Structure 1
Amino acid sequence: MGSAGQIGTVMITGASSGVGLYAAKALAQRGWHVVMACRDLAKAKAAASSLAIPESSLTHLQVDLGDLESVRRLVNAFHATGRSLDALVCNAAVYKPRLKQPERSPQGYEISMATNHLGHFLLIQALLDDMKKSSHPSRRLVILGTVTANSKELGGKIPIPAPADLGDLSGFEAGFKAPISMANSKAFKPGKAYKDSKLCNMITTQELHRRLHDSTGIIFSSLYPGCVADTPLFRNTPRAFQTIFPWFQKNITGGYVSQELAGERVAQVVADPAFAVSGAHWSWGNRQKANGQQFIQELSDKASDPETAAKTWDLSMKLVGLA
Structure 2
Amino acid sequence: MWIFGWKGPSGFSARSTAEEVTEGIDATGLTAIVTGATSGIGVDTTRVLALRGAHVVMAVRNVEAGKKLKESILNEIPSAKIDVMQLELSSMASVRKFASEYIASCLPLNILINNAGIMAPPFSLSPDGIELQFATNHVGHFLLTHLLLDTMKKTARESNREGRIVLVSSDGHKFAYNEGIRLDKINNEAEYNCYRAYGQSKVANILHAKELARRLKEEGVNITANSLHPGEIATNLARNNGLLNGNIYAHQCLDSIKLSMLRRVIQGAATQLYVALHPQVKGVSGEFFKDSNLSKPGTAPAQDEELAKQLWDFSMKMIKKQ
- C-alpha change, 1:308 and 1:8, in structure 2 (3 Å) is same
**RMSD of aligned alpha carbons:** 2.2
The TM-score, its normalising length taken from structure 1, stands at 0.81
Show the 5 A alignment for 1:208-219.
Answer: 208-214=212-218, 215-219=220-224
Q: Distance in 2 between matches of 1:80 and 1:192?
A: 39
Report what 1:148 is aligned to. 172
Show the 5 A alignment for 1:231-270.
Answer: 231-237=235-241, 238-239=244-245, 240=247, 241=250, 243-245=252-254, 247-248=256-257, 250-251=259-260, 254=261, 256-270=262-276
- Aligned 8 A contact 1:148 1:164 in 2: no
Report what 1:281 is aligned to. 288
Report what 1:288 is aligned to. none
- C-alpha change, 1:205 and 1:322, in structure 2 (3 Å) is farther
- C-alpha change, 1:103 and 1:55, in structure 2 (3 Å) is farther
Structure 1 counterpart of 2:211, one-letter code: E
Which of 35, 40, 44 is 1:22 aligned to?
A: 44
- Aligned 8 A contact 2:207 2:308 in 1: yes
1:80 aligns with 2:104: yes
Show the 5 A alignment for 1:1-323.
Answer: 6-51=28-73, 52-54=76-78, 56-97=80-121, 99=122, 102-134=123-155, 135-149=159-173, 156=174, 163=177, 165-166=179-180, 169-171=183-185, 176-177=186-187, 180-181=188-189, 187-214=191-218, 215-228=220-233, 230-237=234-241, 238-239=244-245, 240=247, 241=250, 243-245=252-254, 247-248=256-257, 250-251=259-260, 254=261, 256-276=262-282, 277-284=284-291, 294-299=292-297, 300-321=299-320
Q: Distance in 2 between matches of 1:49 and 1:267?
A: 22
Q: Distance in 2 between matches of 1:114 and 1:7?
A: 33
Matched length:
283
- Aligned 8 A contact 1:17 1:47 in 2: no
Structure 1 counterpart of 2:287, one-letter code: A
Q: Distance in 1 between matches of 2:160 and 2:263?
A: 31
Q: Distance in 2 between matches of 1:56 and 1:236?
A: 34
- C-alpha change, 1:18 and 1:124, in structure 2 (3 Å) is same
Q: Distance in 1 between matches of 2:130 and 2:145?
A: 19
Unaligned runs of 5+ in 1: 150-155, 285-293
Unaligned runs of 5+ in 2: 1-26
The TM-score, its normalising length taken from structure 2, stands at 0.81
Aligned-residue sequence identity (percent) comes to 31
Deviation at 1:148, TM superposition (A): 1.6
- C-alpha change, 1:311 and 1:195, in structure 2 (3 Å) is same
